[in-house]
Structure 1
Amino acid sequence: MAIVADTYTYVVGVDTHAATHHYAIVETRSGGQITHGKFPTHAAGLLRAVDWISRRTSVDDNPAVDQVLISMEGTGSYGAQAAELLAARGYRVVDAPSPKRARGSGKNDHIDALVAARGALPKDSERLADRRAGHTRAALQILLTARDSMRRDRTRSKNQLTALLRTHNLDIDARKGINKVHISLIAGWRKRPTDTTLARIARTEAHRLATRIHTLDADLDSNEKAINALVRELEPTLLDLPGLGPINAAIVLAVWSHPGRIHDEAGFAKIGGVCPLEISSGNSKDHRLNRTGDRQLNSALNSIANTRMRHDETTKAYVKKRKQQGQTKPRIRRCLKRYIARQIFRHLNTTTLDKT
């Protein structure tokens, strides 16, 4: 195990925001701050920041790219452009470790950048999560973000429509909720001249919500087709694994990103929040759920596990065996999610090596 402090000469912590990024350069041996600076996020500002880092970390007036680690917050959001530019210059860019703040300590952009830099010093340099790379994977992330927004919008519109139908008598029985048949019926409503003002407004709003749901359904279908096409372009064999459809496969690929970003299956399981945490004490030995990590990936692994428990014969046999051993269903599901994370990581690494 080689920690960052023994591998690099400098660590640059970056706190990213919409308008500006704050940079703090730390000398790894002492942990002391060399300097810090703030730069705007437009193209010229990013170039100035990269040149500033190069000057401040040079050795004998020569850039020492291989001796500098960039520990950046938000490499997939506000820091995406800066991360891509720094990587193009040869710097290694990693996701900043989650900060551990002392109670009552202060906070500002400079401090956050310093925390991002110093937080990386004791970490195993091989276990740091490199930034996500690849334009196709970035496109996948755009589609997944859009899909999440559309699903939330659809759920909100459906809940509003259900509440409206339960509040006002519009000749639709919504006591047990509404389905696609109800939504299609309401979307086809026309204005009725005999309606009272209240009925007219209620029917108009119900029609608007139903039409909105129809539009979102069409958009979600188009989104899924686009995601499916990208997944088949990147890793079509991933869809051969039991329980993996295009959406869950896309989530996995967006997190995994590329060979070397996550160095082993334990790291992948940790990112997915499926590595149980030990809570043993005295004669009691047990584990609890890990509620950290990428919750979207955790949800995908949970969905895959549930699908296998219902439809995969091998998984059904495993569940039956563990139940006979006295294990509870939640504990069995946790074991399955950990196994699935291991299987997916090994599959991705194997297929990638086969292509090279």
Structure 2
Amino acid sequence: MPIVADCYRYVVGVDTHAATHSYSIIEAVTARVVDEATFPTSAAGLARALAWIGRRTTDAGTAGVLVSVEGSNSYGTRLTRHLLDAGYRVVDAPAPTRGRGESKTDAIDARKAATIMLPRRSAGLADARTGDLHDCLKTLVPARDRMAREKTRQFNALVAVLRAHDLGVDARRKPGMSTVKQIARWRERATDSRAEQFARAEVIALAQRILVLHAQLAQNLASLRELVTAHAPALLQMPGVGPVNAAVILNAWAYHGRIKSEAAFASLGGVCPIEVSSGNREHRRLNTGGDRQLNRALHSIVLTNGRCDRQTQEFIATRIAQGKHPRAIRRTLKRYTARRIFRL
């Protein structure tokens, strides 16, 4: 397989930050630094950066230039979009590693982002995620996580106040949405003590906030379902896959061709086995790398199938009879699930 130094004339490394981006242009064959510069992240600054890259790589054209961007999905999102629109291939640069006592500057990090790509296989690079679908999911999926966490916090706070004050609600168990709706309609009572007045006002505010979050989560779910149905309806036909998990999978997948093989998808999801055998002992340990959101989605699918899918239940029963540990069985199922998703 050809490496980057064989396929490209120049490699541009970019160290991204909130206010400025640092760029370093490296000649692929010799690893010689052609030029380095820093530009602001404003629209004018990004345009100047693209013009600067074009002037210094004019003999190679966009097809002969690879751009390695550190943080292409965070600080470098807008830059990545501009580079792709201009025709450059953009890949994710790994986080720089520094030895003990080694210097650190933005220029050094940009240079490392470029030079670390030179010996790598061109077909195995992590192309930057982009496209309208990815931009939509990049907004909706994190927003859902934030709203779900906040709703849980508000619920916990509501239960804590109800258990600390006698407001006429049985709080031995977590209240349901019908109880929350009832609390949201409460009014102040003149017969309450001062402490009870504050407590009643607090639970009313918490209940009203929970109802707002509940409605926002429902709207978010409808939007995710619409996107998934339009772009990958086959995902929703898989057992255990709902709109949220399907959206996480699509967000990691990004576009057709980004993930080159089934093994690459398993590695991205952190479900590929890691061999740690020695002597007569054969063992594979848990993979803690990869996209943890994708790993969580695969884990959720496996747990759902373990409860609802007959074929999965039979597989689990067979492996338990063979003496396998439930955690090892789940890891196997996550690997099988990743394989099945990739083949859709």
Instruction: Write the letter of the residue equivalent to 1:107.
Output: K
- What is the alpha-carbon distance in structure 1 between the residues aligned to residue 224 and residue 158 of structure 2? 29
- What is the alpha-carbon distance in structure 2 between the residues aligned to residue 158 and residue 243 of structure 1? 27
Are 1:65 and 2:62 counterparts? yes
Matched with 2:338 is 341
Are 1:13 and 2:13 counterparts? yes
Matched with 1:78 is 75
- What is the alpha-carbon distance in structure 2 between the residues aligned to residue 30 and residue 168 of structure 1? 74
Q: Deviations over 1:102-125 (max 9, x none)?
A: 244333322222222222222221
User: How far 1:174 sits from its partner (Å)?
Assistant: 2.9
- What is the alpha-carbon distance in structure 2 between the residues aligned to residue 144 and residue 163 of structure 1? 29
Matched with 2:3 is 3
Matched with 2:29 is 29
Instruction: Write the letter of the residue equivalent to 2:47.
Output: L
- What is the alpha-carbon distance in structure 1 between the residues aligned to residue 271 and residue 207 of structure 2? 38
- What is the alpha-carbon distance in structure 2 between the residues aligned to residue 12 and residue 210 of structure 1? 52
- Which of residues 206, 217, 221 in structure 2 aligns to 1:220? 217
User: How far 1:268 sits from its partner (Å)?
Assistant: 1.2
What residue ranges of structure 1 are gaps of 5+ in the alignment? 348-356
Q: Give me the TM-score of the superposition, normalised by structure 2.
A: 0.94
- Taking the TM superposition and a 5 Å limit, the aligned residue runs for 1:280-299 are 280-299=277-296
- Taking the TM superposition and a 5 Å limit, the aligned residue runs for 1:152-163 are 152-163=149-160
Instruction: Write the letter of the residue equivalent to 2:106.
Output: D
- What is the alpha-carbon distance in structure 2 between the residues aligned to residue 285 and residue 249 of structure 1? 34
Moved more, 81-90 or 282-291: 282-291
- Which of residues 103, 110, 113 in structure 2 aligns to 1:113? 110
- The answer to whether the 8 Å contact 1:97/1:120 transfers is no
- 3-state secondary structure, aligned to 1:126: helix
Change (3 A) 1:327 1:50: same
- What is the alpha-carbon distance in structure 1 between the residues aligned to residue 169 and residue 259 of structure 2? 52
Change (3 A) 1:106 1:185: farther
Instruction: Write the letter of the residue equivalent to 1:146.
Output: A
- What is the alpha-carbon distance in structure 2 between the residues aligned to residue 266 and residue 17 of structure 1? 33
Q: Deviations over 1:234-268 (max 9, x none)?
A: 11122111111111111111111111111111111
- 3-state secondary structure, aligned to 1:207: helix
Q: CA RMSD in A?
A: 1.7
- 3-state secondary structure, aligned to 1:18: coil
User: How far 1:129 sits from its partner (Å)?
Assistant: 1.5
Matched with 1:47 is 47
Moved more, 28-37 or 82-91: 28-37
- What is the alpha-carbon distance in structure 2 between the residues aligned to residue 275 and residue 181 of structure 1? 44
Are 1:325 and 2:340 counterparts? no
Matched with 1:354 is none
Q: Deviations over 1:93-150 (max 9, x none)?
A: 1111243332443333222222222222222211111111221231122111211111
Moved more, 255-264 or 92-101: 92-101
User: How far 1:296 sits from its partner (Å)?
Assistant: 0.9
Matched with 2:234 is 237
Matched with 2:201 is 204
Change (3 A) 1:103 1:307: farther
- What is the alpha-carbon distance in structure 2 between the residues aligned to residue 283 and residue 307 of structure 1? 36
- What is the alpha-carbon distance in structure 1 between the residues aligned to residue 267 and residue 342 of structure 2? 12
- 3-state secondary structure, aligned to 2:278: coil
Moved more, 179-188 or 260-269: 179-188
- What is the alpha-carbon distance in structure 2 between the residues aligned to residue 103 and residue 163 of structure 1? 49
- What is the alpha-carbon distance in structure 1 between the residues aligned to residue 32 and residue 313 of structure 2? 56
Change (3 A) 1:123 1:167: farther
Matched with 1:134 is 131
Instruction: Write the letter of the residue equivalent to 2:267.
Output: K
- Which of residues 161, 166, 170 in structure 2 aligns to 1:164? 161
- 3-state secondary structure, aligned to 2:175: coil
- The answer to whether the 8 Å contact 1:10/1:27 transfers is yes
Q: Deviations over 1:320-347 (max 9, x none)?
A: 2222221111111111111111111121
Matched with 2:254 is 257
- What is the alpha-carbon distance in structure 1 between the residues aligned to residue 177 and residue 4 of structure 2? 55
- What is the alpha-carbon distance in structure 1 between the residues aligned to residue 178 and residue 118 of structure 2? 58
- 3-state secondary structure, aligned to 2:343: helix
Moved more, 141-150 or 25-34: 25-34
- What is the alpha-carbon distance in structure 2 between the residues aligned to residue 275 and residue 230 of structure 1? 28
